[in-house]
């Protein structure tokens, strides 16, 4: 195994939904940035995870998240040869949100291209194993096949989704006794929907559940939608994996195995039992199962459910969050709660992205310091991307000013992100 020494200004732990945006923002501000990503591409849940709908850029009142996330989305649509959707032409009757869909290969390649243009150094197939403070520097040891990398950096942004860097440092984290179920993304095509009768397929589904052909969680939302909804969406984002904990390799393996078991079981049922599905085919399966929540960082402030529901206007706000709570559970399936007024737009405070009693490290994305209820709203992909852009700006400003990121004024963070197209907060 060869040892490689590297010195940068900022290390991003994880190049996922928040991490790739953080890296591009920091790199565009002129600080040397590297990404250590255990997977094969940027984008995380959005790309390799198969949840190819970064939501929500808009609500019924206007833009919620823009900046680098919207730039990449719009560029990806142009490359795809499709118009950028005009949110003003939507009729959001069922939800105040506006769903956006990406082409995964195009978006992943574009994100990588923009990162490289910003001189971001990308290290795929590596995981961080050790972190220690050496004066005002971090020494980060990561491993990949045949490689031990020792990186010196001024700032770390933990975008791992599981608070990996925070846990390695022994900083405080939170983990719910009961977490939201995870999922394995897949897509069934070739269903002849003209043969699908809502009540008939519902009865067939219910009989399969009673007989044990299907199991609870194979269809995640029976409390919200009929089984016809599963067929209409080709099974995408429609299966639950209970107790999914992907914060270590063993948990990821268990989630992967259960996800594929559920996928295969319900696909066989669809093909063999439902008229119009005889020619159905499995066209896509994500490389790995996803957890909706594992370890939250305990920040200098924890966003509570009331903060989210009442849209607390934090003095140190750095970005917007979308105005609904999407709580998945083993007991009910999924419960959605919208804020009382569409005029209310929750915010994310800088303090919730600073690990308690830490210096020179911030978090973004699913690592955010939030209660279970608040987290069920804040975890939306666009909000995670907006947090990433804000923390990329915070780290870059800290390096440029020779201070720790926690000392940067949140108003300066917002000013920089607005210069790069973000929505003022």
Output phi, psi for 116, to 5 deg. -65, -35
Q: How many CB atoms lie within 10 A of CB 331?
A: 8
Cα separation of 143 and 139, whole Å? 13
pLDDT tens, residue by residue, 24-71: 999 999 999 999 999 999 999 999 999 999 988 998 889 999 999 999
Containing 413, the helix (H) or strand (E) segment is: helix 410-419
Q: Could you tell me if 317 and 410 are in contact, meaning their C-beta atoms sit under 8 angstroms apart? A: yes
Cα separation of 297 and 368, whole Å? 6
Q: Could you tell me if 189 and 374 are in contact, meaning their C-beta atoms sit under 8 angstroms apart? A: no
Phi-psi region of 205 (alpha: psi -120 to 50; beta: other; left: phi over 0): alpha
Retrieve residue 365's tokens. 């994305």
pLDDT at 98: 81
388: closest CA among 359, 407, 363?
363
Q: Could you tell me if 108 and 64 are in contact, meaning their C-beta atoms sit under 8 angstroms apart? A: no
Q: Which residue is listed with tokens 């732990």? A: 13
**At a CB cut-off of 8 Å and minimum separation 6, what does 279 contact?**
190, 192
pLDDT tens, residue by residue, 108-126: 999 999 999 999 999 999 9
Three-class SS state of 50: coil
The residue ranges of the chain whose pLDDT is under 70 are 93
Retrieve residue 67's tokens. 């900046």
Cα separation of 366 and 375, whole Å? 8
pLDDT at 99: 83
Structural Rg of the chain based on CA atoms: 21
Cα separation of 310 and 96, whole Å? 17
**At a CB cut-off of 8 Å and minimum separation 6, what does 81 contact?**
none
Partnered with residue 10 across adjacent β-strands are 33, 155
pLDDT at 79: 98
Domain boundaries, the chain: 2-176+293-419, 186-285
List Cα–Cα distances, 60 to 26, 79, 90, 179, in angstroms: 31, 27, 9, 30
Q: Which residue is listed with tokens 């953080």? A: 22
Q: What is the largest CA-CA distance in the chain?
A: 68
What DSSP state is assigned to residue 30?
T
CATH number of 2-176+293-419: 3.50.50.60
- Burial of residue 305 (CB within 10 Å: 0-12, 13-18, 19+) is middle
**At a CB cut-off of 8 Å and minimum separation 6, what does 170 contact?**
none
Containing 198, the helix (H) or strand (E) segment is: helix 198-211
């Amino acid at each position: 195994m060869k040892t490689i020494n590297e010195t940068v200004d900022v290390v991003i732990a994880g190049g996922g939904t928040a991490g790739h945006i953080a890296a591009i923002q920091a790199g565009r501000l002129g600080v040397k940035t590297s990404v250590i990503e255990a997977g094969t591409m940027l984008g995380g849940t959005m790309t390799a995870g198969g949840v190819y709908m970064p939501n929500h850029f808009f609500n019924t009142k206007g833009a919620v998240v823009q900046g680098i996330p919207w730039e990449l989305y719009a560029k990806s649509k142009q490359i795809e040869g499709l118009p950028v959707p005009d949110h003003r032409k939507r009729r959001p009757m069922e939800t105040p949100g506006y769903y956006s869909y990406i082409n995964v290969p195009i978006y992943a390649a574009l994100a990588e291209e923009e990162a490289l243009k910003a001189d971001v150094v990308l290290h795929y197939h590596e995981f961080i194993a050790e972190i220690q403070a050496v004066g005002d520097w971090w020494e980060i040891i990561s491993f990949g096949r045949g490689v031990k990398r020792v990186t010196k950096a001024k700032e770390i942004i933990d975008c791992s989704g599981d608070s990996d860097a925070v846990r390695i440092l022994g900083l405080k984290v939170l983990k719910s006794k009961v977490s939201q179920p995870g999922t394995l993304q897949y897509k069934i095509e070739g269903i002849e929907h003209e043969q699908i009768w809502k009540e008939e397929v519902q009865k067939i589904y219910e009989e399969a559940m009673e007989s044990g052909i299907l199991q609870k969680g194979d269809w995640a939302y029976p409390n919200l939608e009929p089984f016809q909804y599963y067929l209409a969406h080709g099974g995408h984002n429609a299966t639950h994996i209970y107790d999914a904990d992907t914060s270590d390799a063993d948990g990821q393996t268990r989630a992967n195995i259960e996800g594929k078991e559920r996928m295969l079981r319900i696909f066989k049922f669809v093909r063999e039992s439902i008229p119009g599905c005889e020619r159905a085919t499995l066209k896509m399966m994500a490389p790995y199962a996803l957890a909706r929540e594992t370890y939250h960082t305990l920040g200098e402030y924890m966003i509570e459910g009331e903060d989210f529901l009442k849209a607390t206007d934090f003095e140190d706000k750095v970005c917007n969050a979308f105005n609904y709570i999407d709580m998945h559970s083993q007991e009910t399936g999924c419960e959605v709660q919208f804020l009382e007024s569409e005029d209310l737009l929750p915010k994310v405070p800088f303090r919730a992205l600073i690990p308690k009693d830490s210096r020179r490290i911030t978090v973004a994305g699913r690592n955010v310091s939030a209660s279970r209820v608040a987290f069920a709203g804040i975890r939306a992909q666009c909000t995670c991307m907006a947090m990433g852009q804000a923390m990329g700006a915070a780290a870059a400003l800290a390096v440029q000013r020779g201070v720790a990121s926690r000392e940067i004024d949140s108003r300066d963070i917002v000013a920089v992100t607005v210069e790069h197209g973000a929505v003022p907060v």
